[in-house]
Amino acid sequence: MTERIALLHWGDLLEDFLDPLGLSLEAFRDEMSGGWMFGYVEALRTAGIETSIVCVSAHVDRLTRWRHEPTGAAMLLFPAPRAYRSLRRLLPQPYAWSAREAVGPSGPFRLAAGAVARQAAPYLATPLRSLGRELRRGAFGAIFCQEYEYQRFDACVALGRALRLPVFATFQGGAAQRTVLERPLRRLAVNAASGLVIGSQAEAERVRRRYAVSEEKVARVFNPLDISIWQPVARNAARGELGLPPDARIAVWHGRVELHVKGLDLLLDAWRRVEQPNSLLLLLGTGPSSVELRARLAEHRIDNVRWIDEYVFDRDLLRLHLSAADVYVFPSRREGFPVAPIEAMACGLPVVSAAAAGVAEIFEGGERSGGIVVPTGDAEALLGALERLLGDASLRLELGRRARERAVSAFSLEAAGSALRAFFLRRGYRPRA
């Protein structure tokens, strides 16, 4: 029996995610690791399920078969459908919140055409016919979507019904609907799907209220992490290798640079008022708000910041930076179930975190789980927690020890993999002959 599922990414095109990070499709294939997608690939493998990463791209003109080098997972790159490409030409900003923002400066006729394109294009972005052929040919047992609050999920549920394949989806932060068509179609899709994987209790309750979904249709499974890779390095050794001062009091953040969503504006507001001596903030990551972040650093003359403005593939380099720090800071306003703070916890760091979605589950015991959780959007509370930890070495060590214990006990690949497989089987997944 073959145990194989197809895992589809959020968004219309894969390059919509990669381009703001300055990454190519080849870099995604050869170097990118970590994050929710690859955690699921590796967790499911521990449970005997092979995952094929299914992507849609405007940079290929036929089905292209690759292998994702860091995980060994099969990759299937489908060309974007012709109808979608035609509509996409009308939408310079396809993920904007209004038709006018999506289309940009234009006359009334182009604006009207763009408004129609904005509604229809996301539903045409998935090549359902060719994807269906490949799912049948490859004896896939299920479809697994990154987000249920996105048009690709609606389309995949319809395809699953046609192929008699169960369709599952996770929650990774998408909770908003941009278009009118989503409102009726999403309710139908959520109730027709086989199951939803949701780590956040608040999000699980929102889904049950909004869509009247039964409890047995929702699995509370955390995003998994390969704890064997995310091991701490001795702090002095890490600082020596990175050229960091041995006596500095260091806070660190890593991720995608989106100023408002990730709360980096709050972090800068708090950090410029930190009064601890020899304080240093490490930032690792890039994204659509990099220019704005650089401008804010210059405007406020914050010079005790070291920023690597690029997507860091090398997990050993990330581990070094995390291990070199005293505190991890996570100021996000909006998340699904974040992996970044768990990586820091696995490296033995205490965490100061805003109460974004999923954070309550990560630090279910509060400080007993190794974290200080502050209200979302509150720079003053963020500052107070940073000052407290940076100023108390014994507290840092104790919370760091608890954080590592929490990461090992709750977020391993094996725990997530077995829970996912059991849920899939309960909800209609059957290995194919």
Domain spans, the chain: 4-81+125-224+414-426, 235-411
What is the distance between the alpha carbons of residues 312 and 252, in angstroms, rounded to a whole number? 14
Q: What are phi and psi of 71, to 5 degrees?
A: -110, -20
pLDDT given at position 46: 94
User: Which distant-in-sequence residues (6+ apart) come within 8 Å of 114 by Cβ?
Assistant: 90, 91, 99, 102, 103, 106
The region that residue 63 occupies, defined by phi over 0 for left and psi between -120 and 50 for alpha, beta otherwise, is beta
pLDDT digits (tens, 9 = 90+) for 145-157: 999 999 999 999 9
Triad 185, 191, 192: Cα angle to 5°: 85
For the chain, residues with pLDDT lower than 50 are: none
Contact, 150 vs 95, CB < 8 A?
no
B/e letters for 380-413, b = 16+ CB within 10 Å, e = fewer, are: ebbbebbbebbeeeeebeebbebbbebbeebbbb
The answer to whether the 4-81+125-224+414-426 and 235-411 domains have the same CATH topology is yes
Contact, 325 vs 282, CB < 8 A?
yes
What is the distance between the alpha carbons of residues 399 and 390, in angstroms, rounded to a whole number? 12
pLDDT given at position 433: 62
pLDDT given at position 98: 87
pLDDT given at position 187: 94
pLDDT digits (tens, 9 = 90+) for 285-320: 999 999 999 999 998 888 899 999 998 888 889 999
What is the distance between the alpha carbons of residues 381 and 392, in angstroms, rounded to a whole number? 17
CATH number of 4-81+125-224+414-426: 3.40.50.2000
Q: For 235-411, give the CATH class.
A: alpha beta
How many residues belong to the chain?
433
* Count of beta carbons in the 10 Å neighbourhood of residue 227: 20
pLDDT given at position 175: 64
The SS3 call for residue 8 is strand
User: Which distant-in-sequence residues (6+ apart) come within 8 Å of 195 by Cβ?
Assistant: 166, 168, 217, 218, 219, 423, 424, 427
What is the distance between the alpha carbons of residues 16 and 59, in angstroms, rounded to a whole number? 11
